[in-house]
Amino acid sequence: MIEYILRRIRKPGLKIDESTPLFSSGLVDSMALADILAKLEDLTHTRIPPGKVQPKDLETVSIMFATAQRVGKPLK
């Protein structure tokens, strides 16, 4: 996921880890979050029910995986 986010936001030289704030820091905008959510669904084999996530639920890589575990529904 970290590699994907780095490719997606295209900021040369930037380093992030599992606890780097993504949303509140401005590194990730809402349109990129849509892709990141889709990637999260792919990686966790879940569908994240719309309307059940807020920016704080996706603030860091570790939080977003916890979110997927909490609200994601396994893909059929």
Residues that bind other proteins (CB under 8 A): 13, 23-26, 28-31, 33-35, 37-38, 48-51, 53-55, 58
Identify whether the C-beta of residue 8 lies closer than 8 Å to the C-beta of residue 22.
no
Nearer to other proteins, 2 or 14 (CB): 14
The Cα angle at residue 45 between residues 48 and 21, in degrees rounded to 5: 60
Rounded least distance, CB 64 to other proteins, Å: 12
CB distance 61 to 20 below 8 Å? yes
C-beta closer to other proteins: residue 3 or 51: 51
